[in-house]
Structure 1
């Protein structure tokens, strides 16, 4: 396979890019991109295509002559247009074990080893008999990495959470785990940015978490740069890696997911139909800023990569700073 400077290894993928004031859906192959036009797959609209995708025809187009341009010459934006965004919490097994074990060790006479063993037993029981934990984000927060991440001045504890994101294909409503993957069109990269001091309500602790305020500032869901067909992605063991200014902060595998992709799609679909183009985030591994006691600052550059999905670059700006 060909690897581009953006880290894409799939034979082809979908992307969206700017052409003047217009946004076009493009087919990416290697280090080039071309618009999908006329009666070609996807030309009528991305979500319409994802409802009944014809990847085989796109594979032929990826090998054919056409109006190809260097990928480096276009401005990529978010590769999806979701109507719904679902986020998954506490879904990396080892990460959750360490968090639970730390709390147990601090509040009991258990040794660290005993606490981890107890936490591991709890997580295995949850995986076998429990359910995924979902909350919702705003589609308006989905942006491409062409847009800098503006850090709201109201807080100085904005954090990163790199995640594998499922892109829904055919509508999924109350589907079984056995059938769930039939509703996955592809995958992309999402950085689920969080303002930590807004997660828990201070005025009424009984209410609990406030995901609306902590996760839904403008641009808090950098997404892309590519939508890669599911056939090219091994979501069971994809390497998730985030670097902050060149220093590795998150480094894990999706093999550690407590609930796998099928369980997540099935679980999320039990409440509300998942629509073509919707995003389902799968959770973030250990290594966020809260762990490192280091949060995002003006001028920071986050470089996120997931096996088979390319590389996402997000540049941070303080609110009010010049672009």
Structure 2
């Protein structure tokens, strides 16, 4: 496996497919080594994340051992979440662009007036509103190296590159001030969406149908790296998606409407967030629907987030069963 970018952190975690199953690996530069439960100090990765001891892993990273070339191993998703929470409409510029692009022909406002109105609406929401969450299926979480089979029931599959929070210590009804103490690290997720299934056509009163629109097999390519929280500042990370070498999304997490503490706190008010769970933070402007160009078999997406490395996802046709 080759990588457009590697994490800038002193070390990061991956999960490696081996003949004996999936093992946790420690990455330093372009090298990786398998971790034993003794080195982790836990029976598995989620147990480690519950009280992550990064100093323990730093010592392993700086020690001699059986290192392998990273390019020579097969990686899968770096986490095994029991819950996946997704955040909607959380990039200010993205929502404003959607409002302007959706102006009806008989709307008396100019694009500039609509943009100003939408900007004020977003600022009011940030000040007085709450994050919008929905849930995804953990079964959709796959390694970024797996081919993305585009379901044949639609031709409107879209990309949504997102910064994903990896939960550490269990978080239940935590405050914003305490929220980051429950974050183990960060990874990259491309939240694939089937646009023509987002809204129900048979009963519009029901509203959105996130189950059908976002939960086909492989619709959450994740990783490949889990970067420890001490090595990343989520407040201002560059986020970029290229489709066949052309930049489609290019933004910063500084444009998030609700920041990481607000999201973790808000999501934890209803249900405990568990070690290893994923909390997606929303996607910036530049989705395929914006460009009028949706995914096709043969497309290659490279998603990068500053400091977290990059993932490469290749689209293929769905094989008829």
- With structure 2 as the length reference, what TM-score do the two structures score? 0.96
Q: Quote the residue 2:166 is aligned against.
A: 167
Displacement of 1:194: 0.5
Task: Give the secondary structure class of the aligned counterpart of 1:236.
Answer: helix
Q: Quote the residue 2:13 is aligned against.
A: 14
Query: How far apart in 2 are the matches of 1:225 and 1:307?
Result: 14
Which whole-Å deviations, capped at 9, do the CAs of 1:251-297 have from their partners, x for residues lacking one? 00000000000000000000000000000000000111101111111
Q: Quote the residue 1:240 is aligned against.
A: 239
Query: How far apart in 1 are the matches of 2:298 and 2:272?
Result: 40
Query: How far apart in 1 are the matches of 2:4 and 2:196?
Result: 36
2:317 is the counterpart of 1:308: no
* 8 A Cα contact 2:5 2:304, kept in partner: no
Task: Give the secondary structure class of the aligned counterpart of 2:236.
Answer: coil
Q: Quote the residue 1:25 is aligned against.
A: 24
Q: Quote the residue 1:109 is aligned against.
A: 108
* 8 A Cα contact 1:105 1:111, kept in partner: no
Q: Which shows bigger deviation, 29-38 or 271-280? A: 29-38
* 8 A Cα contact 2:97 2:285, kept in partner: no
Alpha-carbon distance change, 212 to 200 in structure 1, aligned in 2, over 3 angstroms: same
Following TM superposition, where does structure 1 have runs of at least 4 consecutive aligned residues deviating by more than 6 angstroms?
Answer: none
2:226 is the counterpart of 1:227: yes
Query: How far apart in 2 are the matches of 1:288 and 1:5?
Result: 21
Query: How far apart in 2 are the matches of 1:104 and 1:249?
Result: 22
2:119 is the counterpart of 1:154: no
Which whole-Å deviations, capped at 9, do the CAs of 1:191-214 have from their partners, x for residues lacking one? 000011110101101001000001
Structural mapping, 1:88-237, within 5 Å? 88-103=87-102, 106-237=105-236
Name structure 1 gaps, 5 residues minimum: none
* 8 A Cα contact 1:25 1:43, kept in partner: no
* 8 A Cα contact 1:105 1:112, kept in partner: no
CA RMSD of aligned residues (A): 1.3
Query: How far apart in 2 are the matches of 1:5 and 1:318?
Result: 24
Counting matched residue pairs gives 318
Query: How far apart in 2 are the matches of 1:27 and 1:226?
Result: 10
- With structure 1 as the length reference, what TM-score do the two structures score? 0.96
Query: How far apart in 2 are the matches of 1:112 and 1:87?
Result: 30
Query: How far apart in 1 are the matches of 2:299 and 2:22?
Result: 28
Name structure 2 gaps, 5 residues minimum: none
Displacement of 1:138: 0.1
* 8 A Cα contact 1:36 1:42, kept in partner: no
2:252 is the counterpart of 1:253: yes
Query: How far apart in 1 are the matches of 2:314 and 2:47?
Result: 32
Displacement of 1:59: 0.9
Q: Quote the residue 1:282 is aligned against.
A: 281
Query: How far apart in 2 are the matches of 1:258 and 1:157?
Result: 27
* 8 A Cα contact 1:155 1:195, kept in partner: yes
2:61 is the counterpart of 1:62: yes
Query: How far apart in 1 are the matches of 2:149 and 2:41?
Result: 32
Query: How far apart in 2 are the matches of 1:288 and 1:98?
Result: 11
Query: How far apart in 2 are the matches of 1:264 and 1:191?
Result: 18
Alpha-carbon distance change, 178 to 25 in structure 1, aligned in 2, over 3 angstroms: same
Displacement of 1:109: 1.5
Query: How far apart in 1 are the matches of 2:51 and 2:100?
Result: 45
Query: How far apart in 1 are the matches of 2:9 and 2:125?
Result: 34
Q: Quote the residue 1:87 is aligned against.
A: 86
Query: How far apart in 2 are the matches of 1:107 and 1:61?
Result: 64
Structural mapping, 1:36-55, within 5 Å? 36-41=35-40, 44-55=43-54
